[in-house]
A and B are shown apart, each in its own frame.
Chain A
């Protein structure tokens, strides 16, 4: 198992490296000269001064050289300085914002996974009965409503009308930190973030479990006198989880996009606003650092789902 984890981690690292090349390349292909960002347009600059600045920033070098220079610095944690924020170092800036984003994202993912799997199981077991029909309709609504609608509607109903949860922020300003305060602020945006994903997971779990329930080994379990509860929970669910785990891993990117969107609606102090502004102002160092860290999150989650898959399915060669 350790061997398998190490191998998967190495693959993850390679993917991360590929991601850096991709990000670097895409940003350089984008229209506009990166040097524009460094100069104040109202102060006239001579062509030779401009050339000197280019040399100082290394922009005269061929692209591969620029890439490796950037990568070398990035490995030591030096992602350069933010252009829009008057030369603040990028890494602390992004790291300060990534915590809340990760918290929101993982809470949403956790809710989506637990609720989606539970609802999928109930739906499959009660196939074609009112519970199943009700849950399936809910899932359909969850999948097909646009995220901005559910987010705004949720905010309005639960925070404004019912006042069950605060309407925004992560902590009550001025109050001392408390976990309950954090959770109170977290629950609504995380649940709203979970809707689409949870509905998708539920539908997968339902059809996967129905498929498994018609398998021979489920009949064998019944022939052994296993109770219906354990037939479902022990013999069927574990097999049915396999495709669902793959789904969770491969849709994690969607959850990140959703998190950034929810953040802007709930005034959540995460990376969302930072990234939007960075893109608008063409703040390359910030964009690259933020994208890279987000990518790293996706790769880590994929690694975790791979490990979960191997833990559930002994047929995966782990040795």
Chain B
């Protein structure tokens, strides 16, 4: 029997109330992350990846976004199980930054420009662990060292604008890990960085996750990154998970036309040059992501799908078990 996961999301439905109607940004989402496991959430921009992360954190924009259905169960560091959607503001605040750490996409704008890096890392340690200013600062310096920042004692006293992009992202990682969380949510942590820095940050996250045995929910739109860092992957399209399974399985045998299309549009090593010389453009998925306002009843991918049949547009397909824990939301998965 598998150990109880750190995070178990089931039936999550997140709705944005905006002028012009309700937007169902996340629909019927099931997801688990176990201790020591990395689960990647992958999909095009606007598919609902960030909203999923923010739903877990309880950080949906107030007055606009809300969790309309579903349960989000978290195993806290203490072993206590809590239902995040039900515990309410103050209890949720004690979980944020303490049991769950979060790293965002833009390292520059995610740090407060008017406080030192050390102060910002020390803050959650003071809040959640009740340490003194001095102890928290010392801990912040150790964390900066852990995330590979040279001369951490000096860097702690500097302001975000005095650090390079890669170093800033290391600092935000240190901040997310400050209270030794059970779960780390990383929302496109490498997207804003140079390629060489991207690889370093990925290595860093993988190492820290191994050392600390935490669960990691890794959001990205880049399949190459998924292959590098994740154990399992969930592919999102228009707010739904359309396929999920172990990275090896899904990459070897995609069972959903969307996943297949995504993989075809990522060039393999050396393939891009070959295609360029041959004059053929990189294959892409034709059409565009549907509007989430008033989605049609059937499969959201149907309008762009080469496998479409009449049954696809009439009913929303369930997740079908294709074996070995791989699930596909396609009624024709056997033919894909």
B110-A216 in contact (CB<8A) = yes
B172-A220 in contact (CB<8A) = yes
B223 lies within 8 A of chain A by Cβ: no
- Chain A, Cβ-Cβ closest to B113: A315
Q: How far is the CB of A176 from chain B (nearest CB, A)?
A: 48
- Chain A, Cβ-Cβ closest to B57: A223
A215 lies within 8 A of chain B by Cβ: yes
A203 to chain B: which residues have CB within 8 Å?
none
List which B111-166 residues lie within 8 A (CB) of chain A.
111-114, 116, 123-124, 127-128, 159, 161
B175-A216 in contact (CB<8A) = no
B113-A224 in contact (CB<8A) = no
A225-B98 in contact (CB<8A) = yes
Once A216-B109, A217-B110 are accepted as A-B contacts, the answer to whether A222 and B94 lie under 8 Å apart by CB is: no
A303 lies within 8 A of chain B by Cβ: no
Q: How far is the CB of B112 from chain A (nearest CB, A)?
A: 4
B106 lies within 8 A of chain A by Cβ: yes
- Chain A, Cβ-Cβ closest to B124: A224
Bound complex: CA A219 to CA B178 (Å):
17
Q: What is the number of residues of chain B that contact chain A, defined by CB distance less than 8 Å?
A: 29
A314-B159 in contact (CB<8A) = yes
Q: How far is the CB of A316 from chain B (nearest CB, A)?
A: 11
Question: What 1/0 mask marks residues of chain A from 109 to 139 whose CB sits below 8 Å from any chain B CB?
Answer: 0000000000000000000000000000000
List which A265-319 residues lie within 8 A (CB) of chain B.
312-315
B81 lies within 8 A of chain A by Cβ: no
Residue of B110, B111, B128, B175 most packed against chain A (CB within 10 A): B110
A215-B97 in contact (CB<8A) = no
B6 lies within 8 A of chain A by Cβ: no
A226 to chain B: which residues have CB within 8 Å?
97, 123-124, 127
Residue of A225, A238, A239 most packed against chain B (CB within 10 A): A225
B253 lies within 8 A of chain A by Cβ: no
A235 lies within 8 A of chain B by Cβ: yes
A222-B104 in contact (CB<8A) = no
A222-B59 in contact (CB<8A) = yes
B110-A220 in contact (CB<8A) = yes
B102 lies within 8 A of chain A by Cβ: yes
B112-A224 in contact (CB<8A) = no
B264 lies within 8 A of chain A by Cβ: no
Q: How far is the CB of B297 from chain A (nearest CB, A)?
A: 34
Residue of A224, A226, A313 most packed against chain B (CB within 10 A): A224
Bound complex: CA A221 to CA B101 (Å):
11
A314-B114 in contact (CB<8A) = yes
**Which 5 residue pairs of A and B lie closest in terms of their CB atoms, listed nearest first?**
A225-B97, A224-B97, A216-B109, A225-B96, A217-B112
B104-A219 in contact (CB<8A) = yes
B212 lies within 8 A of chain A by Cβ: no
Bound complex: CA A235 to CA B120 (Å):
10
B106 to chain A: which residues have CB within 8 Å?
216
Choose among B114, B128, B159 the residue that contacts A238 (Cβ–Cβ < 8 A). Answer: B114
A144 lies within 8 A of chain B by Cβ: no
Q: How far is the CB of A242 from chain B (nearest CB, A)?
A: 9
- Chain B, Cβ-Cβ closest to A239: B114
List which A36-56 residues lie within 8 A (CB) of chain B.
none
B104-A220 in contact (CB<8A) = yes
Once A223-B97, A227-B93 are accepted as A-B contacts, the answer to whether A313 and B104 lie under 8 Å apart by CB is: no
List which A201-228 residues lie within 8 A (CB) of chain B.
215-217, 219-227
B42 lies within 8 A of chain A by Cβ: no
B95 lies within 8 A of chain A by Cβ: yes
15 A–B contacts from the bound complex (CB under 8 Å): A217-B110, A219-B59, A220-B104, A221-B112, A223-B97, A223-B101, A224-B97, A224-B127, A225-B93, A225-B95, A225-B124, A226-B123, A226-B127, A227-B127, A313-B114
Q: How far is the CB of A73 from chain B (nearest CB, A)?
A: 47
Choose among B93, B112, B123, B161 the residue that contacts A239 (Cβ–Cβ < 8 A). Answer: B112
Question: What 1/0 mask marks residues of chain A from 226 to 267 whose CB sits below 8 Å from any chain B CB?
Answer: 110000000100110000000000000000000000000000
Q: How far is the CB of B175 from chain A (nearest CB, A)?
A: 7
Choose among A215, A221, A225 the residue that contacts B128 (Cβ–Cβ < 8 A). Answer: A225
Bound complex: CA A222 to CA B110 (Å):
11
A223-B102 in contact (CB<8A) = yes
Once A217-B111, A235-B112, A239-B114 are accepted as A-B contacts, the answer to whether A225 and B104 lie under 8 Å apart by CB is: no
B109-A217 in contact (CB<8A) = yes
B178 to chain A: which residues have CB within 8 Å?
224
Once A225-B95, A225-B97, A315-B161 are accepted as A-B contacts, the answer to whether A220 and B127 lie under 8 Å apart by CB is: no
Bound complex: CA A239 to CA B104 (Å):
20
Bound complex: CA A226 to CA B120 (Å):
11
Q: How far is the CB of A241 from chain B (nearest CB, A)?
A: 9
B59-A223 in contact (CB<8A) = yes
- Chain B, Cβ-Cβ closest to A313: B114
Bound complex: CA A245 to CA B121 (Å):
28
Bound complex: CA A17 to CA B104 (Å):
51
Bound complex: CA A20 to CA B285 (Å):
71
- Chain B, Cβ-Cβ closest to A128: B63
- Chain A, Cβ-Cβ closest to B128: A225
